[in-house]
A and B are shown apart, each in its own frame.
Chain A
Amino acid sequence: MGELVQHLLNATILGGTYALLGIGLTLIFGIMRVVNFTHGELYAFGAYCMYALAMLLGVNFFVALVLAMILGAALGAVLEIVLLSRLRGADIDTTMLVMIGAWIVMQNTEQLVWSGVALSIANPFPADPLVMGPLSVSWNRVFVFAAALLLIAGTYHLVNRTRLGKAMRATFQDRDTAALMGIRIDRIHTATFALGSSLAAAAGALLGPVFVVAPTMGDLAASKAFAIVILGGLGSVTGATLGGFILAFVEEIGAGYISSGYRDAMGFLLIILILLVRPTGLFAQKERIG
């Protein structure tokens, strides 16, 4: 019994992390339809920013988190302006190739700057875990969970309840009409990419102290993020959030009671099953085709 409850607690905490990884990508991949291969590198960038700020420059942990998000947004904006703004209207393959190139360049730059040796970030939370009877969880992970929920709620509000969010949705539904309505679509493209990037950097900055920071850390994060977004349905913040939690539960329970060797395969098996029943994912919005 204690084991099952511990598994469920682990899955909930992990789900918050996965949801955070998913929402950043759902904005870029789901709404903008850019297959963003740099998502994992923006995640790693956030973690390295956190390391540089908190460990090398001695910035306060929480201030460093906010700065890492801002730097992530800035890097996202640069990527969008330098690479993607030239590719508006290009087909998906071209954009995808450019993003693959950017991914490789970014990952190798990280190794060049930081070497391949993993780095760790100290956190200000108590070293002893939070213990409740037979259960235990680290304070750092509790903080990450709370921060993730806050960021998810903020993103949901921004996309669905603000003028900027409305402009975003309008732009990516129909660029020409949105432009005719007076929306400055170039800025919306840059803003959306920057927002998605800043969420990826936030995930990296939050999880860097939980795990270790290494140049390849983004690969796994990106593959999970794509799985979550496809699972939840493209472009839906709710879908990405629930997708994150579903993936975490399937992995945790699968590893706990079926086989840990297939832990990472479970999620993808689930995607196949869900796509067989609902080809657009769980929460995809209806959209006009053509």
Chain B
Amino acid sequence: MRKLIGPIATAAILAGSLATGAVAQETIKIGVTQPLTGAFAASGNYVAQGAKIAEDEINKAGGVLGKKIQLIIEDNKSNPTEAVSTVEKLIEKDKVPVLMGAWSSTLTLAVMPKLQEYRVPMVVETSSSGKITTSGNPYIFRISPTSEMEAKAFQPLVAKMGIKKADFLYTNNDFGIGSGAEYAKMLKANGVKIGVMETMDPKATDFSAQLAKIKAAGGDTLFVTTAVEQLTLILKQAKEQQLKVRIVSCGGSNSPDQLIEQAGAAANGSYHTTFFPPWFPEVTKNPDVSKRYMAEWKKRGHNVGGLTEGYRGYDGIYVAVAGIKAAGKADPEAIRKALWGVHVKGVYGDISFMKQGPAGKESGQNVPTVYLVEIKDGKVVKTSF
């Protein structure tokens, strides 16, 4: 038996390399780095599922430049060090001319120096930290909004909601700190008093200490920035501690459907920013695109709670492919230049890039629409403001 293993393994490896060799000639590869395991696994998998829908749709419609596209999805394990390794692997081994990633701001910031080193552009589909597009990295093209844009979109609601004194609770990473700072700046400029700014470890599950402090601070609105898992616990624990303030979640990774399912009655009366409202797709800029994406998502049996995350990957791949098409070749530098001129009708809205960051080495930044929704009696509704 042992004698057989050698030749069989060799044959398998040969067959494998022949197969990939053959495929490589016909396809254009796009590298994707997402947190498929670890703390952000749920969201990362949704983005990957959305990306695969886009891949299949594009290939069914004939691909790009006469070739099919092929996604190479790597797991960055929710870990910045691993994220860097995945990007190096995708660029060096798979020779991808364009990337999409890396979900969280911390992961994206970690891989950015590598993009500059290897000169390969990346479409950023989720991250919101301002630093990503203002640090002078010309290989970054972000389709998701920055925390600053989100805070600005919220501005007209401050008076309408009657916010007088706000407290903050955010996750202690680039995403949370950036969001807290931008919202606090905007609120202050609108005459709102800022109470306490509390932080939490991204892995923490018990927030009793922070919530007791927030209760004592006595604001009328609590702005929370974190992903859905911690948000679920915060809503539940706020109810346990009888914290009777209005809770607004920021950052758009809050999956209201999952909150309703898991936090139950504790989710009622909370507000959530989102960049795609699947409960009323008709209000989006491109309702036909939104509905097509939603129909395919449901057809594939994916978790409906993931609709508010999967579109990021769906749009990201369409944008990368538009870049390849406009470049006319699968070359990183040509794609980088071409991405400046793309116009994509996506779930995020009409996607195109404006310049952000220091002159001469600007990053691309899209301006998506920001929506605020409310959870009322176990249902997601448009806010009445």
- A residues near B, CB below 8 A? 2-3, 6-7, 10, 13-14, 108, 111, 115-120, 127, 129, 131, 136-138, 141, 211-212, 214-217, 219-220, 251-256, 259-261, 263-264
- Additional A-B contact list (10), CB under 8 Å, known A108-B37, A136-B242: A3-B215, A3-B216, A7-B209, A10-B212, A111-B41, A117-B42, A211-B233, A216-B203, A220-B204, A256-B212
Tell me which residues across on chain B come within 8 A of A3, comparing CB atoms. Answer: 212-213, 215-216
User: In this complex, which of A118, A216, A260 has the most chain B Cβ atoms within 10 angstroms of its Cβ?
Assistant: A260
Contact A263 B39 (CB under 8 A): no
Contact B203 A260 (CB under 8 A): no
Q: CA A253 – CA B213 in complex, angstroms? A: 10
User: In this complex, which of A141, A211, A214 has the most chain B Cβ atoms within 10 angstroms of its Cβ?
Assistant: A211
CB distance from A35 to the nearest CB of B (A): 21
Which of B36, B198, B241, B262 is close to A136, meaning CB atoms less than 8 Å apart?
A: B241
Q: CA A120 – CA B236 in complex, angstroms? A: 11
Which of A13, A14, A220, A255 is close to B210, meaning CB atoms less than 8 Å apart?
A: A255
Q: Which residue of B lies closest to A118 (CB)?
A: B229
Tell me which residues across on chain A come within 8 A of B246, comparing CB atoms. Answer: none
Contact B204 A263 (CB under 8 A): yes
Contact B42 A116 (CB under 8 A): yes
Q: Which residue of B lies closest to A256 (CB)?
A: B209
Which of A117, A127, A215, A256 is close to B258, meaning CB atoms less than 8 Å apart?
A: A117
- Is B341 at the interface (CB under 8 A from chain A)? no
Q: Which residue of B lies closest to A248 (CB)?
A: B206
Q: CA A252 – CA B213 in complex, angstroms? A: 10
Q: CA A220 – CA B303 in complex, angstroms? A: 27
Tell me which residues across on chain B come within 8 A of A119, comparing CB atoms. Answer: 262
CB distance from A224 to the nearest CB of B (A): 10
Q: CA A258 – CA B39 in complex, angstroms? A: 27
Q: Which residue of B lies closest to A121 (CB)?
A: B262
Contact A6 B212 (CB under 8 A): yes
Which of B37, B42, B203 is close to A118, meaning CB atoms less than 8 Å apart?
A: B42
Contact A263 B262 (CB under 8 A): no
Which of chain B's residues 155-207 have a Cβ closer than 8 Å to chain A? 172, 198-201, 203-206
Interface residues on chain B, size class: 35 or more
Which of B199, B241, B261 is close to A260, meaning CB atoms less than 8 Å apart?
A: B199
Tell me which residues across on chain A come within 8 A of B264, comparing CB atoms. Answer: 127
Secondary structure at chain A's binding surface: helix, strand, loop or mixed?
helix
Which of B42, B201, B263 is close to A263, meaning CB atoms less than 8 Å apart?
A: B201
Tell me which residues across on chain A come within 8 A of B172, comparing CB atoms. Answer: 261
Which of B228, B229, B241, B303 is close to A6, meaning CB atoms less than 8 Å apart?
A: B241
User: In this complex, which of A115, A120, A129, A254 has the most chain B Cβ atoms within 10 angstroms of its Cβ?
Assistant: A120
CB distance from A61 to the nearest CB of B (A): 16
Tell me which residues across on chain A come within 8 A of B44, comparing CB atoms. Answer: 116
CB distance from B372 to the nearest CB of A (A): 24
- Is B45 at the interface (CB under 8 A from chain A)? yes
Which of chain B's residues 45-86 have a Cβ closer than 8 Å to chain A? 45
Tell me which residues across on chain B come within 8 A of A6, comparing CB atoms. Answer: 212, 215, 241
Contact A212 B262, CB 8 Å, known A120-B232, A138-B240, A220-B205: yes
Tell me which residues across on chain A come within 8 A of B239, comparing CB atoms. Answer: 127, 129
User: In this complex, which of A137, A141, A254, A255 has the most chain B Cβ atoms within 10 angstroms of its Cβ?
Assistant: A255
Contact B39 A216 (CB under 8 A): yes
Q: Which residue of A lies closest to B229 (CB)?
A: A118
Give the 8 A-B residue pairs with the shortest CB-CB distance, closest first.
A116-B41, A255-B209, A10-B208, A138-B240, A3-B216, A120-B262, A261-B199, A116-B42
- Is B110 at the interface (CB under 8 A from chain A)? no
Q: CA A263 – CA B305 in complex, angstroms? A: 31
Q: CA A136 – CA B42 in complex, angstroms? A: 32
Which of A111, A219, A260 is close to B209, meaning CB atoms less than 8 Å apart?
A: A260
Q: CA A141 – CA B233 in complex, angstroms? A: 13
- Is B344 at the interface (CB under 8 A from chain A)? no
CB distance from A214 to the nearest CB of B (A): 6
CB distance from A21 to the nearest CB of B (A): 12
- Is B38 at the interface (CB under 8 A from chain A)? yes
Q: Which residue of A lies closest to B266 (CB)?
A: A127
- Is B265 at the interface (CB under 8 A from chain A)? yes
CB distance from B225 to the nearest CB of A (A): 14
Q: Which residue of A lies closest to B206 (CB)?
A: A14
Contact A260 B228 (CB under 8 A): no
Contact B213 A214 (CB under 8 A): no
CB distance from A144 to the nearest CB of B (A): 12
Q: Which residue of A lies closest to B39 (CB)?
A: A216
Contact A220 B203 (CB under 8 A): yes
Contact A212 B232 (CB under 8 A): yes
Tell me which residues across on chain B come within 8 A of A138, comparing CB atoms. Answer: 240
CB distance from A37 to the nearest CB of B (A): 16
CB distance from B212 to the nearest CB of A (A): 4
Q: CA A24 – CA B208 in complex, angstroms? A: 24
Q: CA A240 – CA B44 in complex, angstroms? A: 37
Q: List 5 A-B contacts (CB under 8 A).
A: A6-B215, A216-B203, A253-B209, A256-B209, A260-B198
